[in-house]
Amino acid sequence: MSRYIAHIALVVKDYDEAIEFYTQKLRFILIEDRILSETKRWVLIAPDEQAQCFILLAKAVNDEQKQAIGNQSGKRVFLFLNTDDFWRDYHQMLQLGITFARPPLEEEYGTVAVFEDLYGNLWDLIQHRKK
């Protein structure tokens, strides 16, 4: 049996503004954008074509979901974006207006900085040290 996490739902305020942020500022790829109803779409994004886990952009539809926008993890780092070139991505993200909540640090496991997405969710940008 093979098991893996296929998708992670990320609650967003608006499909189109989220797609724009993730594809333009974080350079993610729009994998799928399918209309399911007048109010619901199936929107998948990923860092690249080889990704095995996709983010499902899920538009908030009620007050409880709207309260979760930007705080799905209680203000802890929620998602982890691995990179093969930390400084390239860090400087490009700065140029594109990404806000970093914590500056880059050299840790024993690699180089890491915490950034915010358009709603305030916290992400690690991380390049693991080669063993």
CATH number, domain with residue 47: 3.10.180.10
Mean pLDDT, rounded, for 105-124: 97
CB neighbour list of residue 77: distance below 8 Å, 6 or more residues apart: 114, 122, 123, 124
Mean pLDDT, rounded, for 4-23: 97
Residue 67, helix vs strand vs coil:
helix
Which residue type does 124 have?
A: D
Joined tokens for residue 67? 């309260």
The number of folded domains in the chain is 2
Q: Return the closest-CA partner of residue 127 out of 103, 102, 109.
A: 109
User: What pLDDT is recorded for position 1?
Assistant: 74
Joined tokens for residue 27? 């350079």
CA torsion sign for 102, 103, 104, 105 is negative
User: What pLDDT is recorded for position 107?
Assistant: 96
Mean pLDDT, rounded, for 85-100: 97
Last residue of a domain, one of 17, 42, 69: 69
Q: Return the closest-CA partner of residue 38 out of 68, 15, 7.
A: 15
Segments forming the whole domain that contains residue 106: 73-131
Residue 65, helix vs strand vs coil:
helix
Joined tokens for residue 40? 């619901």
129 vs 27, 65, 97, 125, CA distance in Å? 23, 37, 27, 13
Q: 12 and 64 share a domain?
A: yes
Read off the DSSP letter of residue 101: E
At residue 112, does pLDDT exceed 90?
A: yes
- Over residues 48-85, the pLDDT tens digits come to 989 999 999 999 999 999 999 999 999 999 999 999 99
| Overall pTM surpassing 0.85 (yes/no) | yes
Last residue of a domain, one of 69, 85, 102: 69
At residue 6, does pLDDT exceed 90?
A: yes
